[in-house]
Amino acid sequence: MPTSGSRTEFLAVDELGAATEIKYGRTGGWFVSTKKAIFLGLLVILALALVGILVHYMTTCKGMKSGKDIGAENEPSVAIPHETPNTSENTSIPIAELLLPKAITPSYYRLRLDPYLDDPASDGSNFTYKGHVSITIHCHNATNSVSFHAKGLEIGENINVTLSNETNTKTTVTSVLSSSTATTAPTFTAVYSNTTSDAANTTSGPTSASAAAARTTTPTAGPRHKREVSFRRHQRRRHVTSTTTTPVPHTTLPLGTPPRVTGRVHEQRKEMYTLSLEPALEAGQTYILDISFRGLLKDSLYGFYRSSYKAENGTKIWMAATQFEPTHAREAFPCFDEPAMKARFELSISRPADMVTLSNMPIRANESIAGRSDRVWDHYEVSPNMSTYLLAIVIANPDFIPIKDTGYLDTNSQNASSPEFRVYARKRLIDSAKYAMSVGPRILKFYGDFFSIHYPLPKMDLAAIPDFGSGAMENWGLVTYRESNLLYDPASSPMSDKDKVVIIVAHELAHQWFGNLVTMKWWSDLWLNEGFATYMQYVGSNHVEPSWEMQDKFLVYEQQPAMALDSLRSTHPVSSKVQNPSQISEVFDAISYSKGASLIRMLNNSLTEDVLRKGLTRYLNKWKYRNAEEGDLWEALTEEIREKAASSLPPNVTVKQVMDTWTLQGGYPVLTVTRDYSAGSAVLSQVRHTYQHWR
Q: Which of 105, 138, 95 is nearest to 387 (CA)?
A: 105
Backbone angles phi, psi at 407, to 5 degrees: -105, 15
Same domain, yes or no: 135 and 279: yes
* 188 belongs to a structural domain: no
**How would you list the strands of the sheet with 316-323, edge to edge?**
303-310, 316-323, 393-396, 356-359
- Of the candidates 266, 272, 277, which has an alpha carbon nearest to the alpha carbon of residue 160? 277
CA dihedral 122, 124, 125, 128 (to 10 degrees): 150
CB 587 within 8 A of CB 576: yes
- Whether the CB-CB separation of 333 and 115 falls below 8 Å is answered with no
Same domain? 273 vs 149: yes
Q: Are residues 375 and 403 in the same domain?
A: no
Q: At what angle do helices 596-607 and 609-623 cross, to 10 degrees?
A: 120
296 and 431 together in one domain: no
- Examine the domain organization and report whether 277 and 152 are in the same domain: yes
Contact predicate 509/447, CB 8 Å? yes
56 falls in which pLDDT band (50, 70, 90)? Answer: low
Residue 155 covered by a domain:
yes
> Do the Cβ atoms of 227 and 234 come closer than 8 Å?
yes
Using the predicted structure, report yes or no on whether residue 60 has a pLDDT greater than 50. no
Dist. CA 482–CA 287, nearest whole Å: 40
Same domain assignment for residues 413 and 378: no
pLDDT above 50: residue 51: yes
Q: What CA–CA distances, in Å, run from 556 to 538, 564, 594?
A: 12, 11, 11
DSSP helix/strand/coil, 528: helix
The confidence band for 312, taking pLDDT boundaries of 50, 70 and 90, is confident
Per-residue pLDDT reduced to its tens digit, 228-246:
333 333 333 334 444 444 4
pLDDT tier at 267, thresholds 50, 70, 90: very high
- Boundary of a domain, candidates 371, 393, 415: 393
Q: Which tens digits make up the pLDDT trace of 570-582?
A: 899 999 888 777 7
Residues 432 and 577 reside in one and the same domain: no
Task: State yes or no: 530 annotated in a binding site.
Answer: yes
User: For residue 31, what pLDDT is reported?
Assistant: 62
> Are 455 and 436 in a shared domain?
yes
Q: Express each pLDDT in 186-226 by its tens digit.
A: 333 333 333 333 333 333 444 443 343 333 333 333 333 33
Query: Is 97 known to be catalytic?
Result: no
Tens of pLDDT, residue by residue over 334-371, are 999 999 999 999 999 999 999 999 999 999 999 999 88
Q: Specify the number of domains making up the chain.
A: 3
Same domain, 142 and 285: yes
Cβ atoms of 242 and 257 within 8 Å: the answer is no
One domain, residues 460 and 348: no
Instruction: Kindly state whether residue 30 falls inside one of the protein's structural domains.
Output: no
Cα–Cα distance for residue pair 143/102, rounded to 1 Å? 11
Q: What pLDDT, on the 0 to 100 scale, is given for residue 580?
A: 73
511 labeled binding residue:
yes
Name the more confident of 352 and 3: 352
CA–CA separation, 646 and 691 (whole Å)? 39
pLDDT tens for 368-426 read: 998 888 899 999 999 999 999 999 999 999 999 998 764 443 444 444 456 899 999 99
Tell whether 659 is covered by a domain: yes
How many whole angstroms separate alpha carbon 165 and alpha carbon 286? 6
Q: Quote the crossing angle between the two packed helices 495-510 and 434-451, to the nearest 10°.
A: 40
The answer as to whether 23 is a domain residue is: no
Q: Are 344 and 384 in contact (CB under 8 A)?
A: yes
Flag the least confident range among 63-77, 284-298, 314-328, 507-521. Answer: 63-77
Beta strands in 167-259 (DSSP E): 187-189, 202-204, 240-244
User: H or E segment at 318?
Assistant: strand 316-323
At 430, which CATH number? Answer: 1.10.390.10
Give the Cα separation of 544 and 446 in Å (integer).
9
What Rg, from alpha-carbon coordinates, does the chain have?
A: 32
- Give the per-residue pLDDT at 120: 58
Q: Which of 508, 558, 630, 640 is catalytic?
A: 508
**pLDDT averaged over the chain?**
80
Residue 284 lies in a domain: yes
**Which residue, among 169, 454, 166, 469, has the nearest Cα to 298 in the 3D structure?**
469
φ, ψ dihedrals at 417, nearest 5°: -75, -20
What burial class does residue 201 get, using C-beta atoms within 10 Å of its C-beta: 0-12 exposed, 13-18 middle, 19+ buried? middle
pLDDT digits (tens, 9 = 90+) for 626-663: 999 999 999 999 999 988 867 778 888 999 999 999 99
Average the pLDDT over each of 301-310, 400-409, 578-587 and give the range with the smallest value.
400-409
Distance (Å, rounded) from C-alpha 557 to C-alpha 560? 7
How far apart are alpha carbons 63 and 483 in whole angstroms? 39
Contact 140, 375 (CB under 8 A): no
Is the separation of the CB atoms in 502 and 539 below 8 Å? no
Claim to verify: residue 387 and residue 326 sit in the same structural domain: yes
* 3 state SS of 380: strand
User: Which of residues 363, 393, 423 is at a domain's end?
Assistant: 393
DSSP notation for 143-168: EEEEEEE--S-EEPS--EEEEE-HHH
**Average of pLDDT values for 248-268?**
74
Residue 186 lies in a domain: no
Residues 492 and 572 in one domain: no
82 is in an annotated binding site: no
CATH of the domain at 281: 2.60.40.1730
**pLDDT at 55 (0 to 100):** 57
**Residue 138: per-residue pLDDT:** 98
The range of the structural domain enclosing residue 303 comes to 99-164+257-393
Q: Of 629, 85, 624, 635, which is closest to residue 342 (Cα–Cα)?
A: 624
Confidence grade of residue 258 (pLDDT, cut at 50, 70, 90): confident
Q: What is the mean pLDDT of residues 485-489?
A: 97
**56 domain-assigned:** no
Contact 593, 534 (CB under 8 A): yes
pLDDT score at 33: 75
This prediction has a pTM of 0.75
Q: Are strands 478-482 and 459-465 parallel, antiparallel or unpaired?
A: parallel
Whether residue 546 is preceded by a cis peptide bond, meaning omega within 30 degrees of 0, is no
Domain boundary among 342, 375, 393: 393
